[in-house]
Amino acid sequence: MTSQNIDMTTTVAKRFEKHVASVNNLINFDRDVLDHAITNLRTLSEKLRKHHQIDNPHLSVDSTLKSIEDIRKNDSLRSRYKTIVNQGLVLLVSYFASSVHDLFRRGIQTVLDKEESSDLFKAQVKISLRELKDVNFEVKDIVPELLIQSKDISFQDMQSIGRTFKEHLGIEIDKDEDVNNIILGQACRHVIVHSAGVINDRLIRQIASANPRTVKNKLTIGQEIEFSPEEINVVAQSMTKYIRSISSKVARHIGEVI
């Protein structure tokens, strides 16, 4: 039982890292396409010269190859895909929230199953008869969701996450540069989804205390948010560190409870 529950927290962290890799593939798809085209054109150019003795520039692919190499070198297509890169951030925040949610649920279920004296049992939640009927009175399976609903917990808000893990699992999470990068990412995600990507007063207020951070230290009201793949990577790295840390703390907590 111990190893199974702890392995589950490790699985959550590994799953998140796979999601990060998928986002990285998405926001760099233009580079992948160009690299593939360049490789094939180079091969074709070599074959035309070696096997068909074609050196006529009008019949070779060298000029086309040079043009595509220049586009790849200068990332000339990047500006055309800013929407896709921004959506990479939206996906990251969703994957992050889902992973933290999973870790919270596993921690709560273990406490309910094994620890009789936890302060968690003092928490009050509301539940309908329909919800009880739907779960066949397997209370521990729905308590995490009941807590989330009753306490208005958001896993897309770092203050809510920190407060939730401390209050219900006794797990404290320090606010550092990585947390500040995640706060920036979450706030920008909200603007991208709900405000057409335009920086507003709410965003500025949300990130006012998110310092120091390494992403977008200067934002101007009225401008459009535009993330680069490099900035997405910084946020992704901060999220990965955070998930690994909280996964380790939840696993340690599970070990202590069991």
What are 137-155's pLDDT values in tens digits? 566 677 788 888 878 899 9
Place of tokens 């991208």: 192
d(CA 88, CA 248): 26
Res. 119 pLDDT band, cuts 50 70 90 = low
pLDDT at site 112: 77
Longest Cα separation, the chain? 84
Dump the DSSP string for 65-83: HHHHHHHHHHTTTGGGGHH
Query: For position 131, what pLDDT does the model report?
Result: 66
Q: What is the DSSP string of 78-134?
A: GGGGHHHHHHHHHHHHHHHHHHHHHHHHHHHHHHHHH-SS-GGGG------HHHHHH
Give the three-state DSSP class for 226: coil
With a cut of 60, say whether residue 85 has pLDDT above it: yes
User: Residue ranges of the domains in the chain?
Assistant: 2-33+80-257
The band of 2, judged by pLDDT with boundaries at 50, 70 and 90, is very low
Show the tokens assigned to 138: 């397997």
pLDDT digits (tens, 9 = 90+) for 15-37: 999 999 999 999 988 888 888 88
